[in-house]
Structure 1
Amino acid sequence: MRIKKAVFPVAGLGTRFLPATKAMPKEMLPVVDKPIIQYAVEEALAAGIEQIIFVTGSGKSALEDHFDTNLQLENTLKERGKTDLLRTVESVAPHASNFVYTRQSEPLGLGHAIWCARDIVGDEPFAVLLADDLIQSEVPVLHQMINEFDRLRASMMAIIVVEQEETSRYGIIEAEQGFNGTVQVRSMVEKPAPEEAPSNLAVIGRYILTPRIFDHLGRQDRGAGNEIQLTDAMSSLLTEQPIFGYKFKGRRFDCGDKAGFQMANIAFALERPELRKQLLPGLAKLVSSAGSAGA
């Protein structure tokens, strides 16, 4: 069965970015000139996803408005002859009817957020994208993963290699030797201390899951942080079905972290020729002056 649906858990409060996120969803913070969430949605659509499912919470109306049609804005741009901007605005949600919203009533973790989408997903495999993980790649990462899913027909997740001292920030897997960037998962643990981590292979925010995951999430077992953890449900699923980790081709930026967010802005801006020309001299001066100040 082809992957047609993607779940976007976007109910978080974004407290790391206060006060900017006091009245604006963290997913709407811009990287260059597009909200973080739009990059993830574009990745999903480019991978052939037909239905975008947002699991939201209170205070997310700006996100919903962003992916809706704004006839007043479009008519104004049309009347003023700003055709390039009009095309940009129209491209944000090419098929607005394909966007579906449901609520996570309580902040009970990533696993609970995904479980909230169970009735919309139904009995078919689906993707999960976490917008905080912004990935720069020639081929959309979800497209890479769907190609592997077509071969393996099993749940999988994107993985990266991290420093051993960083394992307490991630879900960490223990895996068998893989093939072509794909490894078979033997076990996984949520945010282990460095001395207890089974490896330095960390899970990041791209998943393809079989519908069987909802049975395990539905048990509502609490894990780290007293939340319903996706990692725990996948560990349980592993007793029934194989799960794979995929080392994708691309560069990931952690936009849930202030430094990672700034690095993403620089990296994506440098992709634009018109900005690159202006930025490189300015960045060189900043780096030079920062080095002089620290000397």
Structure 2
Amino acid sequence: MSIKPLRKAVFPVGGLGTRFLPATKALPKEMLPVVDRPLIQYAVDEALEAGIEQMIFVTGRGKSAIEDHFDIAYELETTMANRGKSMELLHQTRLKPGAVAYVRQQEPMGLGHAVWCARDIVGDEPFAIFLADELMVGQPGCMKQMVEAYNKVGGNLVCGYEVPANETDRYGIISPGRQDGDLVEVTALVEKPKLGTAPSNLMIPGRYILQPEVMRVLETQEKGAGGEIQLTDAMAQMIGGQPFHAYKFGGRRFDCGDKAGYIQANIALALDRPEIGPAVRQFIDTL
């Protein structure tokens, strides 16, 4: 079995971020900071660590701050240089010319449609998908672990994350087949099963490695739940035709599309930072 290397990643960042209004009225939700880095930076850093070479952002109106973030900031850099300040953190945000592409999703028609908008740039290659509001923390990063698993089995691979049984009705859940360590065969995908009916407690937390054939499925995909073109529906059609596995990620996950999850991420990652962790912990102890 010949396994094509993974070189490209798609970041669907066209959403309106309505759950964080009014903060996201003029600021993309992907630019909301966790401690001192925007959410999208965590996702891109995770992709770079995994060896991904080209970042494809599927944007919408009002998302130019994302493009600016990964560009050179001449005035800021010149001012900092004149003041003798380190520019290492700024340089870490630069993406090399040719390593980034932007495409517009002109209508909010769902995750599946956003991914399909990147079809011409993806071409005939496997690609990763990152949902930036899912912050995955691990050593090594989630996608690096997934790429190592993908290089063994090929096909389609999604991240699997264990959640309590009483939360399975909130997520897309994996119906498992054979298991080999952290690799689990996917026999079906069940969207938000009623409590007590879930085939497992493995949900899919916004990390995917898919074969380019999914684009052809999305081409004719009818609207599903919420009147949107659902990626889950397209992936379900791939099961059986190509190898399909889940990789069980044992690190931490923060749902930063949710206000409570976003605050939890800030607290948890602040506590991890030696320069501010003690002060944050001391404050928490006074509450």
Deviation, 1:264, is 0.5
Deviation, 1:163, is 2.4
Aligned counterparts of 1:98 and 1:259: Cα–Cα separation in 2: 34
Matched position secondary structure for 1:148: helix
Matched position secondary structure for 2:90: helix
Deviation, 1:112, is 0.7
Deviation, 1:225, is 0.9
Partner of 1:282 in structure 2? 283
* RMSD after superposition: 1.2
Spell out the pairing of 1:206-285 with structure 2 (5 A cutoff).
206-285=207-286
Deviation, 1:124, is 0.7
Aligned counterparts of 2:12 and 2:195: Cα–Cα separation in 1: 28
AA partner of residue 60 (structure 2): G
Deviation, 1:2, is 1.2
Partner of 2:181 in structure 1? 180
Deviation, 1:89, is 0.7
**Count of paired positions:** 284
AA partner of residue 235 (structure 1): A
Partner of 1:69 in structure 2? 72
Q: 4+ residue stretches of structure 1 with deviation over 3 A? A: none
TM-score normalised over the length of structure 2 = 0.96
Spell out the pairing of 1:161-176 with structure 2 (5 A cutoff).
161-176=162-177
Partner of 1:133 in structure 2? 134
Aligned counterparts of 1:163 and 1:18: Cα–Cα separation in 2: 29
AA partner of residue 141 (structure 1): C
AA partner of residue 25 (structure 2): K
Q: Does 1:28 align with 2:40?
A: no
Aligned counterparts of 1:198 and 1:153: Cα–Cα separation in 2: 24
Aligned counterparts of 2:216 and 2:196: Cα–Cα separation in 1: 32
Deviation, 1:97, is 3.5
Q: Pick the structure with more helix per residue.
A: 1
AA partner of residue 70 (structure 2): F
Deviation, 1:271, is 1.3
Deviation, 1:47, is 0.8
Fraction of identical pairs, as percent: 54
More off after superposition, 114-123 vs 169-178: 169-178
Contact 1:115–1:217 (8 Å) recurs in 2:
yes
Cα-to-partner distance string for 1:40-98 (whole Å, 9 max, x where unaligned): 00000111111000000111011111111111111111011012xx1111111142441
Aligned counterparts of 1:213 and 1:97: Cα–Cα separation in 2: 25
Spell out the pairing of 1:106-125 with structure 2 (5 A cutoff).
106-125=107-126
Deviation, 1:201, is 1.4
Contact 2:155–2:243 (8 Å) recurs in 1:
yes
Deviation, 1:111, is 0.7
TM-score normalised over the length of structure 1 = 0.93
Unaligned runs of 5+ in 2: none
Partner of 1:291 in structure 2? none
Unaligned runs of 5+ in 1: 287-295
Q: Does 1:4 align with 2:4?
A: no
Aligned counterparts of 1:207 and 1:12: Cα–Cα separation in 2: 18
Cα-to-partner distance string for 1:132-165 (whole Å, 9 max, x where unaligned): 1101111011110000110001101001122233
Aligned counterparts of 1:97 and 1:31: Cα–Cα separation in 2: 28
Matched position secondary structure for 1:156: strand
Spell out the pairing of 1:76-115 with structure 2 (5 A cutoff).
76-83=79-86, 86-115=87-116
AA partner of residue 284 (structure 1): D
Partner of 1:192 in structure 2? 193
Aligned mate of 1:18, from 16, 21, 25: 21
Contact 1:190–1:232 (8 Å) recurs in 2:
no
Matched position secondary structure for 1:193: coil
Contact 1:102–1:116 (8 Å) recurs in 2:
yes
Aligned counterparts of 2:97 and 2:47: Cα–Cα separation in 1: 14
Contact 1:158–1:247 (8 Å) recurs in 2:
yes
Deviation, 1:169, is 2.1
